[in-house]
Amino acid sequence: MKKYVLVGAALLAVWPLASQSRKERGALYESYNKLGQLLVYIDSYYVDTVDLPGLTEKAVVNMLRQLDPHSTYLSAADVKAANEQLEGHFEGVGIEFAILEDTLTVTVPLAGGPSEAVGVLAGDRIVAVDSLPVAGVGLQNARVLQLLRGPKGTSVALTILRKGSPRLLHFTIVRDKIPIHSLHALYEVQPGTVYIRLGRFAVTSVTEIKDALKKLRRAPQSIILDLRGNSGGVLKTAVELCDQFLDAGRLIVYNEGEHWPKSMDLATGRGMFRNARLLVLIDEHSASASEIVAGAVQDWDRGILMGRRSFGKGLVQQLLSLPDSSQVRLTVARYHTPTGRVIQRPYDAGRTDAYYADLYRRRSHGEMFSRDSIRLPDSLKFYTLINAREVYGGGGIMPDIFLPADTSCHSDYYTRIYHAGLLSQFVTQWMDGERSALHRRYKTFADFDRHFSVDDALFDAFIAYAEAQKIPRDEQGLAVSGHCLRLEMKALMARALWSTSEYFEVLNKQTDPVFLKAVEVINHWEQYEKEVGLR
C-alpha cells in the first residue's frame, strides 16, 4: 500500500522504535498492556453485548484528539477515498453526476473515460444499475459511488432514460482508471501571462500543469498561481512545484520532529519557470503544501504574494497502517520555510473545535477586511534571504499585498440559493435541451464568452425554479446578487460545454477582484516589485 507524507516518502513503523530509551519502551509496553487488558475485561465481563471494534475505533479517535488538530483516524473506507485523491485517480465508469429530483443524472461523461466511449451523454438519467432501480428511492451520493465504482476490468450495466429517445437505453460499461484532476484551471489571460489554479497537491499535479501548458502557443513570461482554497496534499508535490520556480541549490523546505531526522529539499535548477514573473494568490483556506510553496517563494524574494493570511498549518502527517487496513494520519514533524519559519499557528492539545473556530475569530476581529487588525509579535520576525524583508512565522503566511474579502455579491438570498445547489441543478436541466444548439452556435469558448449572456427570460425561469424549491423571490437580494447569479449560470454552462478551466475563466474577469488586481500587478510589475521591496 502506498503511503504519503502530507503537509511523500514512506516511513515504516518499527515496534518499538530503536531510538527509544529503555525507560520509554517500558512506558510504551505498560500502556499497551493496560489498554489490551481493559478490552479483555470488557469482552469477558461486561453486562451487555459490546461492539468491540466500534468501541476500539472510538478510543483511537479520542486518543488522537489529545495530540494535535491534524492527527486523525481513517477507517478502511476513508483510506481508499483519501488515496484516490492523493494518487489522482479512482476506478469506475467515468462520469460526473448529480441527483436531481431523486434521479441520478449524468452532468458530464469524463473525456476519454469508459462511459464516453460507449455513448453515455450529459443529461442522461440513470434509472437502474445492474437491474437495481435507483430512481425515486432516496438515493444518496455515497450509495452512487458504491454502485458505480469498482475494480478496473469489472463491468456494470446501466439502464438510461434519454430525452428524445422513445425507449430505455442499455449500456454495459467496463470500469477503468479515471483521473481526478487537481488542476482546476490553466489558460492564457493575455499574451505571455498564464493563470494556474491548483485545487490540491496530488501526485499528478505538476504533470497536469506541464500537459496543459503544451497546448499554449508560447512559454509564459508571467504566471498567476492561484492557491486560494487549496488545503494542501502531498509534500513531495509541493517541493516539485517549487522546483519549477527556484534556482539550483536553494532550500525549499526542511522538516524535523522528535523521532523524525531533519530532512531538507533543495531546488534542482531544472524548473520550467525560473525566469517568469510569479504572483501567488493565497487566502485563509490556503494551508499546508500551499504554505510551503508560498513560504519558499516569499523567503527567496522570488515573487509577490497577494491575498489574505494563510491558514497556518505547519505540521507534517504520515499515513501509518493499522491491522484492519485502517490508518492513522499521525503528525511526525514540523516543516520550516527556508528562513526557518514555522508556519503552524498556536493550538491547545485536545481542543480541536477551538482551533478550527479561529477562522471565525479572524473574521469577527476584522482581519478579513483590514491588515491593520493583525498583530504578530517581534519574536516571530524573520528576514527574507535576498532582500532582507520582514516576514513572520507562527501563524500562517502573510501576503506582500493584502486584499480584503469581497462581499459585493453576498446576500441572504444568494446564500440560500448557493447552499441549496439550485444553480447547478437548474443549469443541468436546462442544458438537456440546449446543449446541441449551443455547440452549433458557439464553435469555441472564446465565441461563447464574447457573445453569450443570460437574458432576462432565462434568468426569470431560474428565479421561478428557485421559488418552486421554496426560496421566494427577494428583490433586495436580486439587486445585490443578480449580476453574480447570472455570471455563475454562464460559468456553469461553460463548464458543461468545455471544462472547469472555462468555468473559472468566466468568473475571474467578471466577479473576482483578486484576479483583476493580479492582472494589474502583472501589467505594472516593476512598480509593485518596488512597493513590496523586491527591488
Task: Give the pLDDT confidence of 458-491 residue by residue, as tens digits.
Answer: 999 999 999 998 999 999 999 999 999 999 999 9
Classified by CATH at the fold level, domain 1-72+181-320+333-406 comes out as 2-enoyl-CoA Hydratase; Chain A, domain 1 (3.90.226)
Task: Give the pLDDT confidence of 130-165 residue by residue, as tens digits.
Answer: 989 888 888 887 788 888 888 888 989 999 988 777
What lies within 8 Å, CB to CB, of 350 at 6+ separation is 65, 66
Mean pLDDT of 176-204: 91
Nearest to 272 by CA among 309, 306, 238, 245: 245
**Is the Cβ–Cβ distance between 384 and 397 less than 8 Å?**
no
Q: Tell me what pLDDT residue 87 has.
A: 63
Of the candidates 68, 205, 222, 313, the residue annotated as catalytic is: 313
Of the candidates 68, 176, 226, 299, the residue annotated as catalytic is: 299
Count of Cβ atoms closer than 10 Å to residue 109 Cβ: 22
**Residue spans of beta strands (DSSP E) within 322-414:** 327-336, 381-383, 390-392, 401-402
Peptide bond into 16 cis (omega under 30): yes
Q: Which CATH superfamily is domain 89-179 in?
A: PDZ domain (2.30.42.10)
| 299 is known as an active-site residue | yes
| 313 is known as an active-site residue | yes
Q: Tell me what pLDDT residue 69 has.
A: 87
Q: Tell me what pLDDT residue 23 has.
A: 65
Count of Cβ atoms closer than 10 Å to residue 511 Cβ: 18
The domains of the chain are located at 1-72+181-320+333-406, 89-179, 412-511
Work out the widest C-alpha separation in the chain, in whole angstroms. Answer: 78
User: In whole angstroms, what is the distance from residue 199 CA to residue 185 CA?
Assistant: 9
Nearest to 493 by CA among 447, 450, 438: 438
User: And the C-alpha cell for 503?
Assistant: 468555468
Task: Give the pLDDT confidence of 349-377 residue by residue, as tens digits.
Answer: 877 777 777 777 777 777 777 776 677 76
Nearest to 417 by CA among 432, 431, 408, 427: 427
Task: Give the pLDDT confidence of 378-409 residue by residue, as tens digits.
Answer: 778 999 999 999 998 888 999 999 999 888 88
Mean of all residue pLDDT scores within the chain: 87
Of the candidates 222, 288, 499, 501, the residue annotated as catalytic is: 288
